[in-house]
Amino acid sequence: MISAAIFIVLEIAALAMLSRSSSKQNIWLNQLSGSVNAFLWGGGEKIRSHFMLQDQNDELVRINAELQARLQAYENAEEAAQEQAATQSLVGDSRFKYTSATIIKMSRNTAHNYIIINKGWEDGIKEQSGIISDNGVVGIITAVGRHQAYGITMMNNKLRISTKVGREGIDAPLMWDGISPDGAIVDDIPPHYEVAVGDTVRTSGYSSLFPAGIALGTTVESRLVDGSKKQIKVTLFQNFKTLHYVTVVENLEREEIMALEEQGGYQ
């Protein structure tokens, strides 16, 4: 940079000396001087434009970050509102505590499908709580961490739900059929009971996991098994493919019920 400055000074001095020698040289030098000035002015404008462009880019980056933060806040608020709406649509029995949650992960392709939600013991979630949605039973909580909880879903051959079927309110267990995401079977119905196609299957309320009256699905067909009981095929209302928000239900009287069962020698 210093060498360049010295060179420019010497050039200007030489040009000044030449300017006194003749009129032709004077004209040529004036033209050269104008060209140099134009070059220097243009370079200066480019430098100023560069720094102005950098400032504009910095401002655009700041605005973009601010908009992204606002969008994330909006999405979080919308998700919280959807969770709250899902919970409010299910609240009924005052013996149960209802906590909204969002599914983090859920399997659908095994015989023992599971679910993980974004609420844990810090949010009041306990083991052996039910998981429901506005379309029926989802599953039960089997393990609880600080910020998440794990459970098995209706699409798990280890889970059975106590239900009532049809207008007569026949008490019978419901389980997944092991084939279709929305397929289930109600078993152990005495053969003399009549169950019509399209009858609604609801939770019985006899277990300590779920409130009574939650609609689970409708009956499709029945068949006699071993000549001693009926088995009913059911189409569930629950759509596990699109499920995103759930509600955890805790029976506030469950410990008292379990203590009475132990005192009574129930096995």
Residue 210, pLDDT score: 93
- pTM, rounded to two decimals: 0.65
Side chain identity, residue 27: I
Class of domain 95-267: mainly beta
Residue 231, pLDDT score: 92
Show pLDDT as tens, one digit a residue, over the chain (267 residues): 555 555 555 555 555 555 555 555 555 555 555 555 555 555 555 556 555 666 666 666 567 666 665 665 665 555 555 555 544 445 556 788 999 999 999 999 999 999 999 999 999 999 999 999 989 999 999 999 999 999 999 999 999 999 999 888 889 999 999 999 999 999 888 888 888 899 999 999 888 899 999 999 999 998 888 878 889 999 999 999 999 999 999 998 877 777 776 777 655
**Nearest 5 degrees, angle CA 127-CA 128-CA 130?**
115
Q: Which residues contact 254 (CB under 8 A, 6 or more apart)?
A: 128, 208
Residue 13, pLDDT score: 56
Using a 10 angstrom Cβ sphere, with 0-12 exposed, 13-18 middle and 19 or more buried, the burial of residue 262 is: exposed
Q: How many CB atoms lie within 10 A of CB 138?
A: 24
